Every structure is written in structure tokens, then in C-alpha cells.
């Protein structure tokens, strides 16, 4: 027998489920408290549970899989197409129930270790944003007093000691002390960011998959750890092209009447991983230690940013090939399609 599909709309404390009883044909749409959720599914035969890939979804997916159920996490963008009419918990659960029965590229359920690595990335990303905001804030405040500095952290560090020395006689002491304190706090942010990177490096030494893809040009510590943790299981994707498309490194398409038009990249999928791949690709094209005929031909006929995205697409496909096939990276490897 095919497992009974059940749509689950998860929330902070109240969960909504929707399914059709295969024996009676009854439409069931009921609410469950958080504490009773696993108890409800523990007393059911194995079924297909569909959920949106949102906050807390991976935790509940692991718990339900431990009870013997088959769990399918779906992107919210895909589920949204099945929600017709007003939006509420009951309608969302019904939309998820409809969506889980349709073919869809499911989101791989991540382990707790993979989620922990992604959490480190998110915390580091937040610290970097806060550090950048602090630098821009200091530059903006000092501009109000006629002290203009170049963009970037290095320019700030070089100029601010002399700037504060010039302003010490013009501004109140409380202002000078506060500016100096804000500048000193930047070093503390640097330290916290380095500590997170050190923890990521430790995980990289313990994870063979991360070390394997770190050999690919343009893939460093951040990209390697984020790619392995985000992908979950490489077998979820049928090919490297599908993985690159899932990240959003492919053109958008519009067409009618048999005429197809390609636009810029779709920017769907994981924004953070796509950004890391693009930055890595830019460094590969900028600093080539060895001749690369493919990259040279590409840059000769396409704008720089187009070439960068193409290189990022190639890197993503290489990452999938290394992880899915369990082989080491070979720079001069030639891929041959089966006849």
C-alpha cells in the first residue's frame, strides 16, 4: 500500500494537520498542541508527511523519521501555489497536503551536525554585517566634523588615530571616548569572527567531504563547509546541473510561441551559498595560477560578471560530482557523457 499523505503546517505551539482517511474517505483537518504532536504520529501506521522547509522543520522531520514515517520537506515557494483563497492554518495544511502528492525537488533533511555548522555560518554572517555597519557609522560620524576617510576597514584603522588626535581639542571628551570605544569594539568583533572560523576549520578536519571539495579552485573554508551542510545529501540531486539550478546559478527563462528568452540568473535557492560561490569564482578568474583555456575563451566573449557566474556554475557542478561520486578532485579531468 502507498503511505497515506498527510500535510502538516508547523508553528511555534499549535500544529495543523490535513489528510483524507483512506478507509472512510473522511477529510481530517485538526489542530494539535506541540506536546501531543509526536504522540499522535507514534500511534499511526507509517505515512508520507509533507511539511514546508521552514524554521523547526528539520527537527520535526528527524523526529518523524525516527518513528518510521517518510518525510518530504518542500520549499515554501512550491507550496504557495496550492494555497487558494484565504490564508490560515487550515488552508496552509491543505495546500501542503496537495503539494506533497506532486513531483517536487524535496529539501534534504539535515542532521543536527549540519544544522550546527549552518548556525555558525549565520552567526558569523551577522557579526560581519554588524562590523561593517560599525565601520560605516564611524566614517559617517567623523565626516560631520570634516574628517573624510577612504572606504574600507584598513583605511579606517590607518586614519582614525590621527583623526581623533586632531579632534580631541574640538569635541567633548565624552564624544572622543565613545568614538575610541567604538573603534576598539571592532577588534573584539574581529576576534569573535576568527573564533567561529576556527571552529569551522576544526569541523573541516573531521569531515572528509569538506576536505575533498576544498581542493577545488575557488572553494575555501567557508564555501566548503557551507556547501556540505546546505546540500545535506548529494544523492538528492540527479546531476551537477540540477544542483547549480537549485542554488540559482542559471538564467531565468521567459518564452511564448516557441521563442525562448534567457535573462539574468534566477537568484532562487540559497542566497548565502550562491554568494560564496560567486566570490570564489571571481577570485579564480582574477588570479589564475595555471593557464585555463576554458576561462580565457569565456572572458574573451562575455562580460566579466557573466563569466564569473559561469565559473561559479562550473564550481557548483564540480562540487556535486566530487560529493556524489565520492572521488577526489582532478584538475584535468574530462567528463564524458555516456553514449
Which fold does the domain 5-100 belong to in CATH? Nucleotidyltransferase; domain 5 (3.30.420)
What pLDDT, on the 0 to 100 scale, is given for residue 135?
A: 92
User: Count of CB atoms within 10 A of residue 5's CB?
Assistant: 21
What pLDDT, on the 0 to 100 scale, is given for residue 251?
A: 79
Of the two residues 120 and 232, the one the predictor is more confident about is 120
Split at pLDDT 50, 70, 90, the class of 337 is low
Where are the strands (E) in 207-322, listed by range?
251-256, 259-265
Of the two residues 258 and 130, the one the predictor is more confident about is 130
As a whole number of angstroms, the distance between CA 221 and CA 215 comes to 10
Strand arrangement, sheet containing 48-52? 27-33, 14-20, 5-9, 48-52, 70-74
What pLDDT, on the 0 to 100 scale, is given for residue 291?
A: 67
Residue 258 above 80 pLDDT? no
Strand partners, 253: 262
Map residue 7 onto helix, strand or coil: strand
Q: What is the DSSP letter of 110?
A: P
| For range 42-69, the mean pLDDT | 92
Q: Which residues of 115-149 are buried (b: 16+ CB within 10 A; e: fewer)?
A: eebbebbeebeebeeebeebbeebbeebeeeebeb
Split at pLDDT 50, 70, 90, the class of 335 is low
Q: What is the DSSP letter of 89?
A: H
| For range 289-305, the mean pLDDT | 81
Split at pLDDT 50, 70, 90, the class of 270 is confident
What pLDDT, on the 0 to 100 scale, is given for residue 104?
A: 84
Q: Which range (86-100, 193-207, 234-248, 309-323) has the least confidence?
A: 234-248
Residue 99 above 70 pLDDT? yes
Split at pLDDT 50, 70, 90, the class of 339 is very low
Residue in 33, 147, 20 with CA at minimum distance from that of residue 94: 20
What pLDDT, on the 0 to 100 scale, is given for residue 286?
A: 84
| For range 247-269, the mean pLDDT | 79
As a whole number of angstroms, the distance between CA 169 and CA 37 comes to 66
Map residue 16 onto helix, strand or coil: strand
As a whole number of angstroms, the distance between CA 266 and CA 144 comes to 41
What pLDDT, on the 0 to 100 scale, is given for residue 19?
A: 92
Q: Within a 13 Å sphere around the CA of 316, how many CA atoms are in the beta-carbon half?
A: 31
Residue in 28, 75, 18, 76 with CA at minimum distance from that of residue 48: 18
As a whole number of angstroms, the distance between CA 21 and CA 4 comes to 8
Residue 338 above 60 pLDDT? no
Average model confidence (pLDDT) across the chain: 88
Q: For the chain, give me the number of helices (H) and strands (E)?
A: 13, 7
CA-based end-to-end distance of the chain? 37
- Kindly report, as residue ranges, where domains of CATH 3.30.420.40 are found in the chain: 5-100
Amino acid at each position: 500500500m502507498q503511505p497515506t499523505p498527510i500535510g502538516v503546517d508547523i508553528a511555534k505551539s499549535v500544529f495543523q494537520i490535513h489528510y483524507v482517511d483512506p478507509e472512510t474517505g473522511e477529510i481530517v483537518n485538526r489542530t494539535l498542541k506541540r506536546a501531543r504532536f509526536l504522540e499522535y504520529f507514534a500511534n499511526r501506521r507509517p505515512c508520507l508527511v509533507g511539511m514546508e522547509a521552514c524554521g523547526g522543520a528539520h527537527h520535526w522531520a528527524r523526529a518523524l523519521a525516527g518513528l518510521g514515517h517518510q518525510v518530504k520537506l518542500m520549499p515554501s515557494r512550491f507550496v504557495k501555489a496550492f494555497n487558494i483563497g484565504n490564508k490560515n492554518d487550515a488552508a496552509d495544511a491543505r495546500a501542503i497536503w496537495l503539494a506533497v502528492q506532486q513531483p517536487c525537488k524535496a529539501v534534504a533533511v539535515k542532521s543536527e551536525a549540519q544544522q550546527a555548522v549552518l548556525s555558525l555560518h549565520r552567526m558569523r554572517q551577522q557579526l560581519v554585517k554588524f562590523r561593517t555597519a560599525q565601520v560605516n557609522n564611524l566614517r559617517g560620524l567623523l565626516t560631520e566634523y570634516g574628517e573624510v576617510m577612504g572606504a574600507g576597514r584598513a583605511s579606517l584603522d590607518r586614519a582614525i588615530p590621527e583623526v581623533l588626535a586632531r579632534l580631541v581639542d574640538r569635541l567633548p571628551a565624552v564624544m572622543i571616548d565613545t568614538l575610541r570605544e567604538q573603534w576598539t569594539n571592532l577588534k573584539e568583533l574581529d576576534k569573535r569572527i576568527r573564533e567561529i572560523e576556527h571552529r569551522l576549520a576544526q569541523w573541516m578536519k573531521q569531515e572528509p567531504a569538506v576536505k575533498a571539495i576544498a581542493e577545488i579552485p575557488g572553494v575555501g573554508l567557508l564555501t566548503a563547509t557551507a556547501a556540505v551542510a546546505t546540500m545535506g545529501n548529494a544523492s538528492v540531486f540527479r546531476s551537477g546541473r540540477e544542483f547549480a539550478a537549485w542554488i540559482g546559478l542559471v538564467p531565468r527563462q521567459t518564452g511564448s510561441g516557441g521563442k525562448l528568452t534567457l535573462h539574468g540568473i534566477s537568484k532562487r535557492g540559497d542566497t548565502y551559498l550562491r554568494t560564496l560561490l560567486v566570490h570564489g569564482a571571481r577570485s579564480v578568474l582574477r588570479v589564475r595560477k595555471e593557464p585555463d583555456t576554458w576561462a580565457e575563451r569565456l572572458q574573451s566573449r562575455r562580460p566579466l560578471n557573466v563569466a564569473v557566474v559561469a565559473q561559479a556554475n562550473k564550481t557548483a557542478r564540480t562540487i556535486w560530482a566530487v560529493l556524489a561520486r565520492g572521488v577526489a578532485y582532478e584538475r584535468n579531468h574530462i567528463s564524458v557523457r555516456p553514449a
